[in-house]
Chains A and B, each alone.
Chain A
């Protein structure tokens, strides 16, 4: 009897300790999400009734479909470029080159600077009278006019990479540093040159780490708002489209905005599911390689 009472008390206290987290979950996540779902099915400006019109209007509009495609293009391109940038950088920094601690710190800079400030800085730097173009015009012979980077899709992808590549880079570095050097040595002893060790030993083993980090980069890029708002020019992805529904028309189109937010959420979850499956498969292959 006493034992039963003790167990119940422990469960009660456990529940009590979990309560703040549960309340936070319901209050800060579940309830707003539920409200967004409900609102997305309400006729615009009404608090009763159900409709699919908010979804059909957005998804049947060519502009709506272009916005979805653009969001994927921006996120995938910036994720791919982040991987391309992160792997050599992580390999270099693993060698503990002079000043590597400073470089590691610098990688984190985009994460600690607010996105809007970062975007403004990048606009100034890459602008037609920014330092980059001034340098080119000064030192590149035959260069008569500045390169156009701001407000182009390529420029926007650079901005995304700058802001979100640290997620991929940090996990890649962490995967590389947790790699047992004996495995690489074994490859070398077996006659593989440095490139072969990298290609057939190191890369397969760190792939799960790269993919895990790139998921974070992808998700951040998919939901990017302040950067495309300020630096996107005519390229305005889903988050900006949601914002437009609320901030431009009066009265605000809350139902339309909620429907676009739901589309965005569903796309993210679907993509994440597929991606995580890939990561798990890559993880399985890596274990096999080990």
Chain B
């Protein structure tokens, strides 16, 4: 009797385990893809969930499983993949340059497999953060940083970085600078944009040469001095910066225009938030890139290309600016409803103030990250 009980129990466990095992994907085109997103902040993560995923499901019949992750984690994982057995199929990378430089095999993306990519400006397909993309990244959207300020406290915002630096005493304790060792890209963007204002063309120099230049030393010291006027302690991540804006402790900060406007609409930033572009440039336009890992099954690649093509379609690209205040990757500016330009400056205005792409490079970014300790007040 006891023996029978054990046998029955063992049978039940085995049967349960067999039933709980995942069902193999049926032959034919896959209908479920995994998107690994290391790029999006809370605003765009919401957009994926509420807008992109339902639209892809409705139009292409493909179910996107959405995974928020980090570049470091996924690069490590991807390196361990066996060929053809990768477990995410579309990558929305925080730094496409990092992926390309890491040597992880990525699919070449071009008009032959993603026809709508032909509408993307060639310079954005060529490089990002100064790294040759080798045709492995597809731009999805662009955005910009701006001097976000609370008009309740800042009646006359600085028109240039130099003016901002000269008037730093006026804003002591109220400048929002994210910690230089934060995960948010604002950690390095804020510093790089500041340095660019004082270095200009010199930012094109390789970092080992630039570091020895007296102008760099001067700009670096100015940055350290400027940091002393920031609100302390420095906010750990953007959520803390927003809270500092809400509490009235922070009045002005360089931050992503799209995220700030979205947050003001959500009620997580004061409604009196406004944005201006400093004369020397707000930022190289922030960029969000797609990639498709080469180490995934071929049939998944075909579906991934279709999904990317759909996300670069005119309809999807216009939605980016009308709902998220992000600039389309494709050349469809003339199709954008005029009302969108009431909220954000036109692309040509932005292009004029944007820092040229070759001045913000990966080695500079790594330099700022590597010297984070020096930049804590």
Binding site for B on A (CB under 8 A): 6, 9-10, 13, 16-17, 20, 63, 120, 123-124, 127-130, 151, 229-230, 232-234, 244, 246-252, 254
> Chain B, 220-244, contact with A by CB distance < 8 Å: what is the 0/1 string?
0000000000000110110110010
Contact flag A251-B72 (CB < 8 Å), given A128-B249, A151-B233: yes
**Bound complex: CA A74 to CA B233 (Å):** 18
Partner of A250 from the list B13, B98, B181, B234 (CB cut-off 8 Å) is B98
Q: A229 — nearest CB in chain B belongs to which residue?
A: B236
Give the chain B neighbours of A251 by CB distance below 8 A.
Answer: 72, 75, 98, 102
Give the chain A neighbours of B17 by CB distance below 8 A.
Answer: 20
Q: A244 — nearest CB in chain B belongs to which residue?
A: B181
Q: B247 near A127 (CB under 8 angstroms)?
A: yes
Give the chain A neighbours of B172 by CB distance below 8 A.
Answer: none
Q: A246 near B233 (CB under 8 angstroms)?
A: no
Cβ of A93 to closest chain B Cβ, rounded Å: 34
Query: Using a Cβ cutoff of 8 Å, how many contacts connect chains A and B?
Result: 75
Q: Does B319 contact A (CB under 8 A)?
A: no
Contact flag A123-B243 (CB < 8 Å), given A246-B73, A247-B183, A254-B76: yes
| 5 additional contacts (CB under 8 A) given A230-B240, A244-B181 | A128-B249, A129-B248, A247-B183, A249-B370, A252-B75
**Bound complex: CA A58 to CA B17 (Å):** 44
How many interface residues does B have (CB within 8 Å)? Answer: 37
> Chain B, 83-126, contact with A by CB distance < 8 Å: what is the 0/1 string?
00000000000010010001000000000000000000000000
Q: A128 near B248 (CB under 8 angstroms)?
A: yes
Q: B246 near A248 (CB under 8 angstroms)?
A: no
Cβ of B124 to closest chain A Cβ, rounded Å: 21
Partner of B243 from the list A124, A244, A254 (CB cut-off 8 Å) is A124
Q: A9 near B3 (CB under 8 angstroms)?
A: yes
Give the one of A9, A120, A247 with max B CB within 10 A. A247
Give the chain A neighbours of B373 by CB distance below 8 A.
Answer: 63
Q: A120 near B239 (CB under 8 angstroms)?
A: yes
**Of the 9-residue stretches B4-12, B320-328, B336-344, which lies at the interface with chain A?**
B4-12
Q: A151 — nearest CB in chain B belongs to which residue?
A: B233
Give the chain B neighbours of A232 by CB distance below 8 A.
Answer: 236
Task: State the 6 A-B residue pairs at the shortest beta-carbon distance, nearest first.
Answer: A252-B72, A233-B233, A234-B233, A129-B247, A13-B6, A247-B183
